[in-house]
Amino acid sequence: MKESTFVDVFESIAKEVMGDNAVVRRKANLYYELSLNRNLELATPRTKKPKRGHSAFQTDVCIFELVDDIEFPRVVIEFKKGITTHDILTYSAKAGMHKKIYPCLRYGILVSEEKSIPSRFFVHNENLDFFIAAQAYKNESQIRPFAKDLIKKELQVSRILEQIHFKERKVDYYCRDVIFRNFGKDQKP
């Protein structure tokens, strides 16, 4: 399956899961910094329209949720054919910078030509929330159920983080789950 086909699948699943509230953008720009001017006012004009090269990085795919006519970024998925240590460091740093501006954002990567997650990912990753090694899953029927579960889970986590961030929800327990599985073999029929 080509990288672009994976993108198509995740795009259609996001729209299926979220309905009319889904806005899926390829090559979406997200801010990595916002600064103040000398009057201590936000110096970045038009915060709803980030522009690459102006304190914004481009993402492969961003799933936004329409909230009161605002496109609120929920999940970013970067798509690569292969992965290097440099890629892991770069995408992890990029995710961390985006999350400082968008604290509810979930961020991950799908690598189409990796059979399993390389150990260097666990050594060098700090900010990516998920990694999918998808080499063995080359047709849509294999990836669709997984993509649907992933998007639902990441949207749920994003919404909970939003509630906590905006002080609408208080919690007394936090646990950073780590889930390891082979999604083709562990899927329910």
| Distance separating alpha carbons of residues 102 and 98, to the nearest angstrom | 6
When comparing pLDDT for 35 and 73, which is higher?
73
Q: What is the overall mean pLDDT for the chain?
A: 89
Domain range list for the chain: 3-165
Per-residue pLDDT tens for 99-136? 999 999 999 999 999 999 999 999 999 999 999 999 88
Q: Percent of the chain beyond pLDDT 70?
A: 95
> How much is the average pLDDT of 17-22?
89
pLDDT at residue 181, rounded to an integer: 76
Are residues 82 and 114 in contact, defined by beta-carbon separation less than 8 angstroms? yes
When comparing pLDDT for 53 and 78, which is higher?
78
Going by C-alpha positions, the residue among 52, 47, 72, 49 that lies closest to residue 62 is 72
Going by C-alpha positions, the residue among 165, 188, 183 that lies closest to residue 72 is 165
Q: Supply the pTM of this predicted model.
A: 0.89
> How much is the average pLDDT of 175-181?
79
| Distance separating alpha carbons of residues 133 and 150, to the nearest angstrom | 14
The sheet with strand 70-80 has its strands ordered as 22-26, 61-67, 70-80, 106-111, 130-133
Domain covering 3-165 assigned CATH 1.10.132 in the classification: no
Per-residue pLDDT tens for 136-169? 887 888 888 889 999 999 999 999 999 999 888 8
User: Residue 77: pLDDT above 90?
Assistant: yes
- Region for 89 from its dihedrals, namely left if φ exceeds 0, alpha if ψ lies in -120 to 50, beta otherwise: alpha
Going by C-alpha positions, the residue among 64, 59, 79 that lies closest to residue 155 is 64
Query: Which segment of 68-72, 96-100, 138-142 scores lowest on mean pLDDT?
Result: 138-142
pLDDT at residue 173, rounded to an integer: 86
pLDDT at residue 7, rounded to an integer: 85
pLDDT band of residue 189 (cuts 50, 70, 90) is very low
Residues sharing a CB contact under 8 Å with residue 144, sequence separation 6 or more, in sequence order: 9, 13
pLDDT at residue 27, rounded to an integer: 93
Burial bucket for residue 179 (CB in 10 Å: 0-12, 13-18, 19+) = exposed
